[in-house]
């Protein structure tokens, strides 16, 4: 730290965002008490009004960031309608934040099937029983639906519902932010015109 409160950080020298994100996520897994893969997901409806909620990141690589949901839910409908979304990770113990923006694609059936098979049996039943984001008359109605699907799939594997799958955000922007004294934070953004393009890195004012 210099006398004026400014500092250089090793992460600002990084030239590739996915490796940097992987390093930060690994550190978060060691420091965060709950759900280091929790992320705020932002979408917009047909009127351009935004919605945001927490989801769990279930995978990432150079192709993008993957999460799963009911496609008939509010976020599912909004993403299918607009084909774009944004994410914000915040790891409080590390005083770090990562923002992701870009177009969205649907994962392959093979990817969705493979992930669905790893979920707890109760969670797979829940994917069938819950009409996500739609009005629920009572808790009893939900419990009744769970009981019905539990009986239906009492033996053998539980198939993945056709309306339940994954989305992949293919980022055109990934921003890394690290807290510093006096709110003079370190902040870099990787940008590219398309998900297939080369990255440019820009250091940003805090």
As a dihedral over the C-alpha atoms of residue 15, residue 107, residue 51, residue 70, rounded to 10 degrees, the angle is -150
Q: Which two tokens stand for residue 73?
A: 């839910």
Neighbours of 177 (CB within 10 A): 21
3-state DSSP percent of the chain in helix, strand and coil, to 5: 30, 30, 35
Could you list the active site residues? 183
Neighbouring residues of 16: CB distance < 8 A, sequence distance ≥ 6: 199
- Half-sphere exposure of residue 181: CA atoms within 13 angstroms, side-chain side: 8
């Amino acid at each position: 730290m210099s006398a004026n409160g400014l500092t250089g950080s090793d992460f600002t020298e990084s030239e590739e965002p996915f490796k940097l994100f992987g390093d930060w996520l690994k550190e978060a897994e060691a420091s965060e008490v709950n759900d280091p893969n929790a992320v705020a997901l932002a979408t917009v409806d047909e009127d351009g009004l935004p919605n945001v909620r927490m989801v769990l990141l279930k995978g990432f690589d150079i192709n993008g960031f993957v999460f799963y949901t009911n496609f008939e839910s509010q976020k599912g409908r909004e993403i299918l309608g607009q084909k774009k979304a944004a994410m914000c990770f915040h790891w409080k113990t590390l005083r770090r934040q990562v923002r992701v923006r870009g177009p969205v694609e649907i994962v392959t059936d093979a990817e969705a099937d493979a992930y669905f098979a790893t979920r707890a049996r109760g969670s797979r039943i829940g994917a069938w029983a819950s009409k996500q984001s739609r009005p629920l008359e009572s808790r009893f109605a939900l419990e009744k639906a769970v009981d019905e699907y539990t009986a239906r799939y009492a033996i053998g594997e539980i198939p993945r519902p056709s309306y339940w799958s994954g989305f992949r955000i293919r980022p055109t922007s990934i921003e890394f932010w690290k807290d510093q004294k006096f709110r003079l934070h370190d902040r870099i953004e990787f940008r590219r015109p398309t998900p297939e393009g080369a990255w440019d890195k820009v250091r940003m004012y805090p």
